[in-house]
Amino acid sequence: MSESVADAIARVGSPVELLRNAQSRPTIFPVTPEFTNWRSEQLAWRDSVALLDQSHHMTDLFISGPDALRLLRDTGVNSFENFAVDRAKQFVAVNHEGYLIGDAILFHLGEDSFDLVGWFMVLDWVQFIGETGDYDVTFERDANSLMRAPGTPPTLYRYELQGPHALALMEKLTGEPVPPTKFFHMATFTIAGLEVRSLRHGMAGQPGFELFGPWAEGEAVHAAIVEAGAEFGLVLVGSRAYSSANLESAWVPSPLPAIFTGERTAEYLQWLPATRAGSLAGSYASDDIEDYYLTPYDLGYGRSVAFDHDFIGREALERHAAAPQRVKVTLVWRAEDVAAVQRSLYEPGIPAKYLEFPKARYGVYQVDRVLADGRDVGISHDVGYITGEQVFVSLASVDAAHAEPGTEVVVVWGEQPNSRKPAVEAHRQVEVRATVAPAPYSSYARENYRKN
């Protein structure tokens, strides 16, 4: 029997010790890193049209049965009124104490049939509640290609078309005008003689389509997209550029899930395989795992919370909603301080923590301190470079008093003491000055994507 998270915590002594020194490798997207170069590929979803292969790095949890919707209502903070077939939503779950477990995209595929897609954190929680509760549901898990059995293909192909020419390309592919489709609504098209389902949404804030269907048909659909896309300057985007797209749309992909303490967590951690515990990185350091917990409001998910139904954590979340809230912002790192971090590699002594481009996260859960006048005022999450803006940024949750655009703060970069994660080399901690900016940083995303 494989080791559970509970077993692993007992072996090392605490959740923080387990996550801080996790020996798992950094998360990678198991697709081609670059087709040209990540800078040009980042620009494609802004200037022309980008094709991204999402078939391999996400997990699908197919949920079906008479109680599937009831399970989702019981575990999701979202409203499920008018959630018809061919709709999707950003599904958000909290624990019994109202702290965030995670988010994923929920597709309503058919009557009593759903697909929950994304990081495994929230998918695991929903499956646990379903398997241990009184629900008539069936689960089919299609893990990402790093976790799937060798030689086993994905169930679905999933391609992303994003950018100002995405609509024109879709009309060429389908041979007819694309009917108006609301944000996060689905439609069905015919491409290369094959039926293709599409989700209308935006990645990095740009207009686009997520296309999916049976894996066996993916190659033909991909070939048709590439052929038709030549006219529109289609750019194939690799994993390096794709992993940084969230910096523009301000989505935090992997906040630390609040699963290590609280009601039912002892049972859950015994159920959960240790391989899905994750890893913790960054300058924020506390021996109390609860100090790393977030509420949905810290990440701007208040718009998704609906107290129109009973769900796990509802009463606690109502208390969080009434308390002072942190605000999600973009922090634009001072260019000369970023340059100083890089320059330290060429100077005598121990350098600063290496800054990877375009994404500098070195743990599944990145948690760095944000200071103002030497005082902690928030935490910094994902961090990296946006080519189109020529800025190095991080997404952060800060106290409301320091959330106004233009406010000057400091991000503490690097661990002290250095952890034993494989991605951590000997380094010294440094302070990087930063300026608060809106989240999303992209003006298009702010004015169009998030409005929807």
Task: Report pLDDT digits (tens) over 237-284.
Answer: 999 999 999 999 999 999 999 999 999 999 999 999 999 999 999 999
Q: Do residue 43 and residue 167 come from a single domain? A: yes
Q: What pLDDT is stored for residue 1 in this prediction? A: 63
Domain co-membership, 242 together with 381? no
Q: What residues form DSSP beta bridges with 186?
A: 199
pLDDT at 445: 55
Specify whether 218 is located in the same domain as 331: no
395 domain-assigned: yes
Asked which of 196, 227, 248 is the last residue of a domain, the reply is: 248
Final residue before a domain boundary, out of 201, 218, 248: 248
**Whether residue 168 sits in one domain with residue 49:** yes
Q: What is the CATH number of the domain that holds 220?
A: 3.30.1360.120
> Are 51 and 182 in the same domain?
yes
Q: Are 342 and 224 contained in the same domain?
A: no
The answer as to whether 92 is a domain residue is no
At 358 the three-state DSSP class reads: coil
- Do 239 and 387 lie in one domain? The reply is no
Residue 441 has pLDDT above 60, yes or no: yes
Residues 237 and 353 in one domain: no
Strands 100-110 and 368-372: unpaired
- Whether residue 205 has pLDDT greater than 60: no
Q: What values do phi and psi take at 447, rounded to 5? A: -85, -15
Structural domain includes residue 93 = no
- 333, 416: one domain: yes
State the total domains in the chain. 2
Same domain assignment for residues 43 and 183: yes
Same domain, 239 and 329: no
Last residue of a domain, one of 203, 230, 248: 248
User: Are 367 and 241 contained in the same domain?
Assistant: no
- 53-62, 387-396, 397-406 — which is least confidently predicted? 53-62
Does any domain span residue 49? yes
**Residue 16, helix vs strand vs coil:** helix
Inside any domain, residue 385? yes
Q: With H, G, I as helix, E, B as strand and everything else as coil, classify residue 407.
A: coil
Amino acid 293 reads Y
220 is in which domain, residue-wise? Answer: 38-57+151-248
3-state secondary structure of 385: strand
Q: What is the pLDDT of residue 29?
A: 74
**353 belongs to a structural domain:** yes
CATH number at residue 380: 2.40.30.110
Q: Does residue 387 fall inside a structural domain?
A: yes
| pLDDT at residue number 145 | 75
Q: Is the pLDDT of residue 149 over 90?
A: no
CA dihedral sign of residues 38, 40, 46, 52: negative
Q: Is residue 420 part of a domain?
A: yes
State the pTM of this model: 0.95
